[in-house]
């Protein structure tokens, strides 16, 4: 669970995290290991209160698709466990 505030808590099923291959320099590891993290969050399907859903859907943020999906990619630093921490910091 991810606690957004005292009254808003997201369940784990609402946030999709996938390991993907990072872009850029990688030396011998390039295109072999999934070292980036892709976060997806469906605003419309979420358990967020409607007031928050409406606010988020009105934003003109390039991380929110026209379908209402929040997409965040973390690939720095190049270690998956650190990228998980980075995504959690971005979401918080």
What ranges make up the beta strands (E) of the chain?
2-3, 9-10, 15-20, 36-42, 69-74
Instruction: Specify the number of domains making up the chain.
Output: 1
Which pLDDT belongs to residue 59? Answer: 93
Q: How far apart are the C-alpha atoms of 17 and 30, rounded to whole Å? A: 21
The reply to whether 2 falls in a domain is: no
The CATH number of whichever domain residue 70 belongs to comes to: 3.30.160.20
Which pLDDT belongs to residue 7? Answer: 86
The reply to whether 1 falls in a domain is: no
Which pLDDT belongs to residue 37? Answer: 81
Which pLDDT belongs to residue 82? Answer: 64
The reply to whether 37 falls in a domain is: yes
Question: What is the span of the domain harbouring residue 54?
Answer: 13-87
Consecutive 10-residue runs of the chain (92 residues): their mean pLDDT?
84 87 60 73 94 93 93 70 65 61
The reply to whether 48 falls in a domain is: yes
Which pLDDT belongs to residue 27? Answer: 54
The reply to whether 24 falls in a domain is: yes
* Block residue for tokens 């003109």: 60
The reply to whether 3 falls in a domain is: no
Which pLDDT belongs to residue 53? Answer: 94
């Amino acid at each position: 669970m991810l606690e957004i505030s005292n009254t808003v808590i997201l369940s784990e099923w609402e946030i999709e995290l996938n390991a993907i291959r990072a872009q850029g320099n990688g030396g011998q590891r390039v295109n072999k290991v999934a070292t980036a993290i892709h976060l997806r969050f469906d605003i419309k399907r979420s358990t967020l209160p409607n007031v928050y859903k409406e606010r988020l859907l009105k934003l003109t943020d390039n991380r929110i698709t026209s379908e209402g999906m929040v997409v965040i990619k973390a690939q720095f630093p190049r270690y998956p466990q650190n990228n998980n921490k980075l995504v959690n910091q971005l979401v918080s």
